[in-house]
Amino acid sequence: MKVESTYSAATAGVAAAGSEWPGYRGVIPIKLNRVLWASNGLLIPGMVFFLWQLAVTRHWVPEQLLPPPSLVWSSLVEMLASGELWEHLSISLGRLGLSLLIGCIVGLLLGAMMGVSRQARAYIYPSFSVLAQFPVIGWVPLLIIFAGIDEALKVAAITIAVVPPVAINTFNSIVNISGKLLEAARVFGFNPLQVVFRLIVPATVPGVFNGLRQGIMQAWLALVFVELLASSEGIGYLMVWGRQLLQMDLIVVSMLVIGLVGLILELLLGWLEKRVQPWQPAVSEKRQGL
Amino acid sequence: MKSLLHHLAVTFQKHDLRGWVLPLLALLVWQTVTWFEWVDTRLIVPPGGVFAVAHAEMQSSAFWLGVAASLGRDLLGFALGSIAGIVFGCALALSRVANSLLSPSFHVIRQISLFAWVPLLSVYLGYGELSKLVLIALAVFYPVALSTHEGVAGIERKWLEVARVYEFNRKQFVWRLLLPAASPQIFTGLQLGLIYAWLGTIGAEFLLRSYDTIGLGETIFRGRAAFNIELIVFGMLVVGLVGYLLSQGAMHFERQALRWRSSY
């Protein structure tokens, strides 16, 4: 009987995804239920915060290792007010933007070339597919030799991170355009321009966008990596600086900012995805169950 | 003889020779510019030098120890991260309470870029093996947890009902329904996880270096410290090839493991 009950609880969890929390149903108004349900998510952060504060006030951990929340907050406010945080962040975002621009152009061209021309595909694809599986950060030591440790290094490293996902997704989405669609275009007597703009572009938008999403995430990863490894400004450098001085508040503030930028990027991409392909639900939306 | 010729013909058709043009051309250009010293050969080292260093390194046991250490780190971190990811993903997909408690925090923390954890890890766990393993496991955890959740949440209700009719106990439920039904997504997550594990391994060896670390990353840093560019290029090629082989191996394994599905 016990087995049965745990089991049915488990299956109910899978089956009932999307409905309200069963525990409160009927007892309290639906709106309140929803609020209570959503506030569950704050429980864990709240507990962590409480423990953090407790550990500081009870001196469980030396203050150098665990700064009080108030210190993190005041550092954040101070760095925002002095413009220091924004300065580092804007440098990082500038690097990100430039590399994304170059990486997307190269990736799109490469992917489109391999997708459209069989010749190009036969020549380029084998080398590309091997190189694309090299971990991005493995390139960095070599790049340091050629590009030094200045801007060129960061832009090159991030660009290398962006190209493979954009190119692969572009390539795949062009190759996967169904023959039926092309046939239909022929039946309707589309001219080449119409084929490109009314068939190929709309058919490849989801794939290309997916590539762009992966590219941006890879770029963000690579950016933080190179800034940690070799940099004298930028948000990653701020963390290195904090680590060297053992100023934990600086490290935590930087992590918060990095997380926030990541969150904004993801939300922005979800919003953009809806704009460019309103006929499909966003990937982020599909994942909202988690 | 005839069958051999036939076999060769098929092989050559299958392996399109045009794919070799680009790498060979690159090698030729590389050889030419270094041969005629059109470039600074201290920076752009000749291919022969890289081959010589590769040959010497492959003779030394230190190099192989480094490769073994990196691979061991990679696989151990992968195992830890993927087990945690599968358990976490299942828990979130199966329990509404766990989902409501954990998923908001998970989605916010997930946004912190992997390597942004490095300074914090180094403060609390030092620069030893533990902090490296934690970083690798974290790199694996996210993709595996996300895919597992997707797989388990997508299990059809019909199958759950069948399991209930057959009165599966909890063990049977997990091993005979849950994991098999979600296996395609779980394997996708594991494959991604393996790629990220290698990225995390190299990143950890670069960013969490200590004097007693051994590994491929250390080989590269040895080259950098001695301005031995041949060694850097060689180390980089090995890092890339191991990454390539790992993901090829994962794909092969996935095909093998999911073969039973195609019999339906």
Q: Is the pLDDT of residue A11 over 70?
A: no
In angstroms, the separation between the Cα of residue A164 and the nearest Cα of chain B is 14
CA distance A108 to A111: 5
Taking the Cβ of residue A236 and every Cβ of chain B, the question of whether any pair is shorter than 8 Å is answered with yes
Two tokens, residue A213: 């999403």
Instruction: List the 131-150 stretch of A: residues with Cβ below 8 A of B.
Output: 131, 133-142, 144-146
Question: pLDDT exceeding 70 applies to what percent of chain A?
Answer: 85
Strand extents, DSSP E, B85-204: none
Predicted ipTM?
0.86
pLDDT on residue B125: 93
**What domain range includes position B242?**
71-255
CA distance A159 to A6: 50
Residue B188 covered by a domain = yes
pLDDT on residue A96: 94
Closest CA to A11 of B104, B186, B172: B172
Taking the Cβ of residue A263 and every Cβ of chain B, the question of whether any pair is shorter than 8 Å is answered with yes
Question: Which of A200-209, A270-279, B83-92, B115-124 shows the lowest per-residue confidence on average (mean pLDDT)?
Answer: A270-279
CB atoms within 10 A of CB B8: 10
pLDDT tier at A10 (50, 70, 90 boundaries)? Answer: very low
Angle at B132 between CA B216 and CA A242, to 5 degrees: 110
Two tokens, residue A236: 């990653």
Of B93, B101, B109, the CB nearest to A40: B101
Taking the Cβ of residue B233 and every Cβ of chain A, the question of whether any pair is shorter than 8 Å is answered with yes
Are the beta carbons of A173 and A246 closer than 8 angstroms? no
- Mean per-residue pLDDT over chain A, rounded: 82
pLDDT on residue B132: 96
pLDDT on residue A166: 95
CA distance A32 to A9: 24
Contacts of B94 in chain A (CB under 8 A): 10, 13-14
Q: Is the pLDDT of residue B187 over 60?
A: yes
Tokens 């809806």 found at:
A274
pLDDT tier at B5 (50, 70, 90 boundaries)? Answer: low
CB contact under 8 A, B153 and A122: no
CATH number at residue B114: 1.10.3720.10
Q: Is the pLDDT of residue B146 over 70?
A: yes
Taking the Cβ of residue B124 and every Cβ of chain A, the question of whether any pair is shorter than 8 Å is answered with yes
What are the φ and ψ backbone dihedral angles of A280, each rounded to 5 degrees? -125, 145
Q: Is the pLDDT of residue A187 over 50?
A: yes
Q: Each residue of A221-258: pLDDT tens digit? A: 999 999 999 888 899 999 999 999 988 999 999 999 99
Q: Each residue of A83-118: pLDDT tens digit? A: 889 999 999 999 999 999 999 999 999 999 998 888
Are the beta carbons of B242 and B216 closer than 8 angstroms? yes
Taking the Cβ of residue A244 and every Cβ of chain B, the question of whether any pair is shorter than 8 Å is answered with no
CA distance B74 to B197: 6
Select the more confidently predicted residue: B255 or A160: A160
Average pLDDT over residues B156-185: 86
Are the beta carbons of A123 and A129 closer than 8 angstroms? no
Q: Is the pLDDT of residue B202 over 90?
A: yes
Region of A246 (left: φ > 0; alpha: ψ -120 to 50; beta: rest) is: left
Taking the Cβ of residue B165 and every Cβ of chain A, the question of whether any pair is shorter than 8 Å is answered with no
Closest CA to B125 of B19, B246, B210, B235: B210
Measuring CA to CA, how many Å separate B86 from each of A47, A222, B151?
25, 26, 10
Average pLDDT over residues A51-61: 88
Are the beta carbons of B36 and B213 closer than 8 angstroms? no
What are the φ and ψ backbone dihedral angles of A16, each rounded to 5 degrees? -95, 15
Average pLDDT over residues B162-176: 85
Rank B27-41, B57-71, B72-86 by mean pLDDT and report only the highest. Answer: B72-86
Closest CA to B114 of B136, B83, B88: B136
pLDDT on residue A3: 39
Question: pLDDT exceeding 90 applies to what percent of chain A?
Answer: 35
Residue B37 covered by a domain = no
Rank A2-11, A24-33, B139-148, B161-170 by mean pLDDT and report only the highest. Answer: B139-148
- Mean per-residue pLDDT over chain B, rounded: 88
Average pLDDT over residues A115-128: 87
Tokens 């009927």 found at:
A26
Q: Is the pLDDT of residue B264 over 70?
A: no
Sign (positive/negative) of CA torsion A154, A85, A232, A239?
negative
Residue B127 covered by a domain = yes
Contacts of B160 in chain A (CB under 8 A): 11, 14-15
pLDDT on residue A280: 59
pLDDT on residue A289: 35
pLDDT tier at A20 (50, 70, 90 boundaries)? Answer: very low
Are the beta carbons of A166 and A104 closer than 8 angstroms? yes
CA distance A10 to B95: 6
Are the beta carbons of B78 and B194 closer than 8 angstroms? yes
Q: Any idea where the domains of chain A sit in the sequence?
A: 2-45, 71-289
pLDDT on residue B112: 92
Burial-class residue A221 by CB neighbours within 10 Å (0-12, 13-18, 19+): buried
pLDDT on residue B190: 93
- Residues in contact with A19: Cβ distance below 8 Å, sequence separation at least 6, in sequence order: none
CB atoms within 10 A of CB B130: 13
Two tokens, residue B106: 């998970």
Q: Each residue of B92-133: pLDDT tens digit? A: 998 888 888 998 899 889 989 999 999 999 999 999 999 999
Q: What is the third-level CATH fold of A71-289?
A: MetI-like fold (1.10.3720)
Question: Which of A5-19, A97-111, A249-263, B64-78 shows the lowest per-residue confidence on average (mean pLDDT)?
Answer: A5-19
Contacts of B164 in chain A (CB under 8 A): 7-8, 11
CB contact under 8 A, A6 and B108: no
Of A40, A138, A221, the CB nearest to B236: A138
Instruction: List the 61-100 stretch of A: residues with Cβ below 8 A of B.
Output: 65
Burial-class residue B44 by CB neighbours within 10 Å (0-12, 13-18, 19+): middle
Average pLDDT over residues B154-182: 86
Residue B61 covered by a domain = no
How many helices (DSSP H) and strands (DSSP E) are in chain A? 14, 0
pLDDT on residue A288: 37
pLDDT on residue A285: 44
Closest CA to A49 of A64, A66, A65: A66
Which three-class secondary structure state does DSSP give residue B103? helix
In angstroms, the separation between the Cα of residue B96 and the nearest Cα of chain A is 6
How many independent structural domains does chain B possess? Answer: 1
CB contact under 8 A, B19 and A16: no
Closest CA to B72 of B187, B198, B196: B198
CB contact under 8 A, B150 and A287: yes
Q: Which chain A residue's Cα is nearest to B122?
A: A243
Q: Each residue of A133-169: pLDDT tens digit? A: 888 888 888 888 888 888 899 999 999 999 999 999 9
pLDDT on residue A100: 95
Taking the Cβ of residue A243 and every Cβ of chain B, the question of whether any pair is shorter than 8 Å is answered with yes
pLDDT tier at B238 (50, 70, 90 boundaries)? Answer: very high
pLDDT tier at A26 (50, 70, 90 boundaries)? Answer: low
pLDDT tier at A283 (50, 70, 90 boundaries)? Answer: low
Select the more confidently predicted residue: A24 or B161: B161
Q: Which of B13, B39, B96 to mutate to test the interface with A (most CBs of A within 10 A)?
A: B96
